[in-house]
Amino acid sequence: DIQMTQSPSTLSASVGDRVTITCRASQSISSWLAWYQQKPGKAPKLLIYKASSLESGVPSRFSGSGSGTEFTLTISSLQPDDFQTYYCQQYNSPQRTFGQGTKVEIK
């Protein structure tokens, strides 16, 4: 199975900061990568699909980039509601694996 490695596990930042989360795949997944945001006790919400396509209704401060094995999620100016946990997921193979998650905390 394809392994996904996210970094960092925890990120401390302030409102207004630009933050970047990285996701690495154990083999090439082309652009078949999605990013999700999860709030405590809630279902994950799709933010980005196909590495860089913004899901409808998601604020434009979220962006994704990358292809092959290395990908990034960037939040251009962190807002109070963005202090959540983020996951990447590859869907290049039928076994869709997730990264271990990145918790964005208030500094």
> Interface with other proteins includes 94 (CB under 8 A)?
yes
Q: Which is nearer to other proteins, 36 or 71 (by Cβ)?
A: 36
Residue 56: CB minimum distance to other proteins, A: 10
| Spatial separation of the C-alpha atoms in residues 6 and 25, rounded to whole Å | 9
By CB under 8 A, residue 55 contacts other proteins = yes
Q: What is the 3-state secondary structure (H, E, C) of 6-28?
A: EECCEEEECCCCCEEEEEEECCC
Beta bridge partners of 94: none
**17 versus 31: smaller Cβ distance to other proteins:** 31
Query: Is residue 50 at the binding interface for other proteins, with CB under 8 A as the rule?
Result: yes
67 CB contacts (<8 Å, ≥6 apart)? 30, 31, 51
The nearest distance, CB 34 to other proteins, in angstroms, is 4
Instruction: Select the residue interacting with other proteins from 13, 22, 24, 38 (CB under 8 A).
Output: 38
**Burial class for 35, CB neighbours closer than 10 Å (0-12, 13-18, 19+):** buried
Positions touching other proteins (CB under 8 A) are 1, 32, 34, 36, 38, 42-46, 48-50, 53, 55, 87, 89, 91, 94-101
